[in-house]
Amino acid sequence: MELPSLPSGFWMLICFCVSVNGYPNGRVREACMSMIPCHGSSPQPSPVHNIAVNWTEFKPGDTIEVHLSGPDFEGFFIQARDAEHLDSPAVGSFILADRKHSQLLTCGRTKNSAVSHTSKAKKSDVKVYWIAPGNAPKHVQFLATVVKKYKTYWVKIPGPVVSQPNAPFPTTPLYVTSEAMSTSHSASYLTKPFNASGCGITKFCVRNPSNCDPGSASCLFLSFQLQKSSVLIEMSGASEGYLAFALSYDQWMGDDDAYLCINEDHHVTVSTAYLKGRRPPVLDSENALEDVSWRLADGVLQCSFRRRIHLAASKERFNLDTSYYIFLADGEAGEGGPIYKHRRQPLITNGMYNVTGIPQDIGGSRSPRLIKAHGALMFVAWITAVSIGVIVARFFKPVWSHSFLFGKEIWFQVHRMLMLTTVTLTSISFVLPFIYRGGWSKQAGFHPYLGCTVMALTIFQLLMAGFRPSLHAPRRQLFNWFHWSTGTTARMLAVVTMFLGMDLPALDLPDPWDTYTMIGFVAWHVGIDVLLELHSYCLIRKAELIEDDRVQILQSLTSAEAEGHLFKQIVLTIYVCGNIVFLIAFLAAVYQI
């Protein structure tokens, strides 16, 4: 018997208009004709449930008992149709035997012409009664769609055929197979893991880390191998939920052609999807994939499938002979439910590639270059330049007060140079996320708000320094207080902002290493600050304890100052070296050196 003649795209359109969470309350009118639940995966190939009737012959007005049974299931959908035209609307009406687990629905113009579940409660059998209409066809067949769980279901399970008395035997056999069985392909099990032997030679590969073995749980792997008019695609990675890749015209999620391998209770479902903006993917009820295979072993999920290079019938499936950015992601999937947002930033290739062109073996990055530069510049500015500049201004005025550079004391010139460097690096770094995002980011929490506050305080500090009054001016004390308080506030907010920024997925720093590094630096800076404060206090106390002899006091102060200057210079050298170590460690983490 032929399947419904309406285009499959029509049913896909209907599915897109319904929530991807399915129909937990059983109100499935949108699926009246197709009987396909919009769960974004292919139906199971071999039914395990049975439909039975108490009579095989009927007259208009007769009542027939219909019994659906089998292994536990959550949802069902029962109809009766013209056995010779199974694409026609439902015929007859039903009466319920159990209102707790079943409910009546109206499909088309016939009231109570279908029965479905009332909830997701597990059940193993359902009994209803069908009433034959006055205009009943000569042969009627019962069909059922059964949902074991969200993505494990059977469509149009064929039931018995009941006929009117003396009805002529039809010329075509009266049976039906699952509608999706003719448009999808059963999956097989991979007997061995993938290998990377053909990468860059016969296959186009994306690997992270570079040159990793796809049989390893630490390797995220994707390959494309051209085979005449189709492409064999292999995907592998450590995932208890799903693996996915997408083809995109840009480095932004949205309007992309996606492919997902989803691990559901140790069974892998392979689906196509279309990404609309930053919303969850809309999984297709039908897809154009062939030769689907999968494997789950040692915590590694692997799947392979074949896709034709050109699919003229589907506008949402991109041609594979064009260049795209490639996204590769993994994440968690709920039991029998929708997939969740990927746990970390997707791996994105650094350029656009044609996967059917010259074979290459490439990598990618989970952090965009502009975001990496943003983090690196901010770290240089606020962890290195500002910290050293503050230490110099706070403790080295007496050390370098008699040494001049370009007409000013050396301490002041060093301080001013480091602070101007901070303003410059902060200003450059500030605009990079806006360039990358194309505007304001709503996904970064408090980080951008605090970042804007730090930028405003930085500019204000620069303007205030430009109008610095002379040393003995009446407003100099007021300036000193504002200069110190603004700078201290900016530094504290900058550290908090960096703490928040390090946890953002766009930067993709190794967790919790990034947090420990920042805590280590703060402790390092506070420790040096406290050490220099204690040293200054000890020098003052030492001078006060000297005998009240002016000559001896002067000689002692000179000696104490010399000792103090040497100690401070040693501490500053150690502090600068420590800051450089922290800087190198951070940059190595950002750029994954």
Q: How large is the average pLDDT for residues 154-175?
A: 74
Residue 176 — pLDDT band, cuts 50, 70, 90? very low
Q: Could you give the count of Cα atoms lying within 13 Å of 449 in the half-sphere of its Cβ? A: 5
Residue 20 — pLDDT band, cuts 50, 70, 90? very low
Closest C-alpha among 47, 4, 285 to residue 148: 47
Domain boundaries in the chain?
29-163, 188-365, 369-592
Residue 87 — pLDDT band, cuts 50, 70, 90? confident
Sign of CA dihedral 504, 507, 511, 514: negative
Q: Is 427's pLDDT higher than 80?
A: yes
- Take residue 255 and report the two structure tokens written for it: 């309007």
Cα separation, 586 vs 577, whole angstroms: 14
- Among left, alpha and beta (phi > 0; psi -120 to 50; other), residue 299 is left
Cα separation, 93 vs 107, whole angstroms: 10
Residue 14 — pLDDT band, cuts 50, 70, 90? very low
Looking at residue 381, its pLDDT comes to: 93
| Of the candidate ranges 4-8, 284-288, 549-553, the one whose mean pLDDT is the lowest | 4-8
| Of the candidate ranges 289-303, 417-431, 441-455, 545-559, the one whose mean pLDDT is the lowest | 545-559
Looking at residue 326, its pLDDT comes to: 94
| Of the candidate ranges 32-41, 147-156, 169-178, 462-471, the one whose mean pLDDT is the lowest | 169-178
10 Å CB burial of residue 505 (0-12, 13-18, 19+) is middle
- Take residue 352 and report the two structure tokens written for it: 């656009």
* CA max distance for the chain: 136
Q: Are 233 and 299 a contacting pair, CB within 8 Å?
A: no
Among residues of the chain, what percentage have pLDDT more than 70?
A: 84
Choice between 21 and 58, residue whose per-residue pLDDT is larger: 58
Q: Is 470's pLDDT higher than 70?
A: yes
Looking at residue 104, its pLDDT comes to: 93
Closest C-alpha among 524, 368, 521 to residue 437: 368
- The string of DSSP codes covering 438-459 is TS--SSSTTHHHHHHHHHHHHH
Intra-chain end-to-end CA distance of the chain, in Å: 62
Cα dist from 198 to 1, 41, 223, 300, whole Å: 45, 31, 9, 20
Residue 86 — pLDDT band, cuts 50, 70, 90? confident
SS3 213: coil
Residue 577 — pLDDT band, cuts 50, 70, 90? very high
Cα separation, 239 vs 332, whole angstroms: 8
Give yes or no on whether 29-163 and 188-365 have one common fold.
yes
Looking at residue 562, its pLDDT comes to: 61
Quick one: 188-365 is in which CATH superfamily?
Cellobiose dehydrogenase, cytochrome domain (2.60.40.1210)
Give, as one character, the DSSP assignment of residue 144: E
- Among left, alpha and beta (phi > 0; psi -120 to 50; other), residue 91 is beta
Q: Is 581's pLDDT higher than 70?
A: yes
Return phi, psi of residue 297, to 5°: -160, 135
Among residues of the chain, what percentage have pLDDT more than 90?
A: 34
So what CATH class is 369-592? mainly alpha
| Of the candidate ranges 82-96, 168-182, 345-359, 508-522, the one whose mean pLDDT is the lowest | 168-182
Q: What is the pLDDT of residues 215-248, one digit of tens each?
A: 888 889 999 999 989 999 999 988 778 899 999 9
- Take residue 514 and report the two structure tokens written for it: 């990034």
Q: What is the pLDDT of residues 22-64, one digit of tens each?
A: 455 556 666 788 888 876 667 887 788 889 998 888 999 999 9
Return phi, psi of residue 330, to 5°: -140, 160
SS3 589: helix
Residue 461 — pLDDT band, cuts 50, 70, 90? very high
Choice between 10 and 96, residue whose per-residue pLDDT is larger: 96
- Take residue 530 and report the two structure tokens written for it: 């406290």
This prediction has a pTM of: 0.56
Q: What is the pLDDT of residues 243-282, one digit of tens each?
A: 999 999 988 878 899 999 988 767 788 888 888 776 777 6
Looking at residue 363, its pLDDT comes to: 86
- Take residue 507 and report the two structure tokens written for it: 């930067």
Residue 179 — pLDDT band, cuts 50, 70, 90? very low
Looking at residue 19, its pLDDT comes to: 35
| Of the candidate ranges 179-188, 446-455, 466-475, the one whose mean pLDDT is the lowest | 179-188
Q: Is 361's pLDDT higher than 50?
A: yes
CATH number assigned to the domain covering 29-163? 2.60.40.4060
Note if the bond before 209 is cis, omega within 30 degrees: yes
Return phi, psi of residue 147, to 5°: -110, 110
